[in-house]
Amino acid sequence: MTSRSNSRMPVHLVHPNLRSVTDLRFAHPDDLASADVIVSALPHGETSGRLPELVARLSSDRGILVDLSSDFRLADPSAYRNEYLDDHPRPELLGTFVYGLPELYRGELRSARRIAGAGCIATAAILALYPAVRSGLVDHGRDVVIEAKIGSSAAGSTPGPSSHHAERSGAVRTYAPTRHRHLAEVRQALPEAPPLHMTATAVERVRGVLVTAHLWLTPGVGEDQVLAAMRAAYDDEPFVRLVRAMRGNYRVPDPRILDGTNFCDVGFAVDEDSGRLVTMAALDNLVKGTAGHAMQSLNLALGLPEGTGLGFTGLHP
């Protein structure tokens, strides 16, 4: 494990949950040894500039690089420019990384040597929309609206004015009414979807994403067809669970019970009177939304069982 700011410190001093689990110390990135696999968690914009250095530290041309930043998630340079308001510094490499969402790209990930970790809100939104869109149940004459609620850890570890406790505590703050950057990833993964719009709101949780999407079904489509599409998409997925409880507190997806897990819980409801389909997806933004799906993708690329290292089932209460 490497860190500039924590170089030579024991890992458990930064991550106290790892006491007695590891005796590793952080190494300085300049001292990184040759490796079969490198997982890069550099801030946005830094991986593309340091890519030659990272690739040079791979032990062979079969070495695997996983990038958790947003540098290589988009394949289209114009889409990148539109979302990040700047040209990509290495446009010739866009499209050479496999998007790290196993539910859609499992086949490509099995042979991948460059993997781009998906955005956390994008992961939840794609998994919420995918079954209905893929099955052709959605009215393309009506736009889709996605509302995402997200915990504070999605803002990263660097404190700022909006993350100060006095400002964050009790907050339900819409910080991206329009033009959230993860929407470009959703459009890329679901090009056959109707026009998509997204709003993101910060809530008083540390972990968790809850996406609620509003779609319109084509005339004649009802709950049975939606349920069949959900089951066809996810019955065989190891980390997507369809929530269909008819009673109790957890009848729809809730990120509260997913802290620390690699599960994404998906649910839906149909308003038969209007034809509106509401789909919901909940996940832990730091696991299934980032590190977990990166590990899941890496397991596929290495030929390991897909769930290796991802067996934690969460806590309740």
280 three-state secondary structure: strand
φ and ψ at 58, to 5 degrees?
A: -70, 145
Q: How far apart are CA 300 and CA 303, in angstroms?
A: 5
Annotated active-site residue in 112, 120, 240, 283:
120
62 three-state secondary structure: coil
Measured CA distances, 194 to 113, 143, 232, 241 (Å)? 32, 6, 21, 25
264 part of the active site: no
Instruction: Kindly give, in sequence order, each residue whose CB lies less than 8 Å from that of residue 132, ignoring residues fewer than 6 positions away.
Output: 138, 215, 217, 226, 229, 268, 277, 279
The helix (H) or strand (E) run that includes residue 234 is helix 223-234
Q: Which two tokens stand for residue 288?
A: 């299934």
Listed residue (97, 27, 91, 87) closest to 67, CA to CA: 97
Which residues are catalytic, by number? Answer: 120
